[in-house]
Amino acid sequence: MLRVGVLVSGGGTNLQAIIDAVDSGVITNTSLEVVISNNPNAYALTRAENHGIEHLCISPKTFDSREQYNEALIKALDDRNLDLVVLAGCMVVLPATLISKYKNRIINIHPALIPSFCGKGFYGLHVHEEVLKRGVKLTGATVHFVDEGTDTGPIIAQKAVEVKWGDTPEVLQKRVMEEAEWKIMPYAINLIANGKVEVIDGKVKINE
């Protein structure tokens, strides 16, 4: 069983997609051990509660220093013996020590086709605003391992989504979530849970 912890900050629709995929058998060999939010009001915490998954808030705001917050977060993850940490709309910059300790064991979803529209400053609606500004015809989502950079880690899965004339950032965001994010995140977790993902020279080989 792949022991998974999910880090969230907001609504948690990606978390919901993961929960549903575990329930329906799209993701096998996986147990969702804990959901951790930096935001006490994140609806994602309610989603975890509704599904009987352990959930807690660890907020940088409640610690005297960033170091103390980092330590608490790492301890919470370590204590649960996780095989994989999933960032599902997690808006916190992770400590470098966590990233090196969990090398190739942290994955993130980015709402664009990396290496386009990614990197520092590209998060949330802003990504879709930039996509519309440039007029690209295809955008999408990417699941990747997290390394020290911003959106630079090995890519596990991508799915393209059509950009339509007249799209607003909000409309496009919703289409990207429905058609790409909620599908490729469960797909990637299932691959990892079943030992099908190998990282070779910074690139992912999928052994189907």
What is the set of active-site residues? 110
Site membership for ligand GRF, residue 153 (CB under 6 A): no
Angstrom distance (rounded) from CA 66 to CA 162: 40
111 binds ligand GRF (CB under 6 A): yes
Please pick, from the candidates 3, 11, 83, 129, the single residue that binds ligand GRF as defined by CB under 6 A. Answer: 11
Interaction between residue 89 and ligand GRF (CB under 6 A): yes
The two structure tokens encoding residue 19 = 């929960």
Residue showing the smallest CB distance to ligand GRF in the complex: 89
CA atoms of 53 and 110, how far apart (whole Å): 24
Q: Which of 139, 181, 189, 204 binds ligand GRF (CB under 6 A)?
A: 181
The verdict on 109 binding ligand GRF (CB under 6 A) reads: yes
Q: How would you write 63-107 as a 3-class SS string?
A: CCCHHHHHHHHHHHHHHCCCCEEEECCCCCCCCHHHHHHCCCCEE
Residue 74: other Cβ atoms inside 10 A:
16
User: Shortest approach of ligand GRF to residue 136 CB, angstroms?
Assistant: 17
* Interacting residue ranges for ligand GRF, rule: CB under 6 A: 8, 10-15, 44, 88-89, 109-111, 177, 181
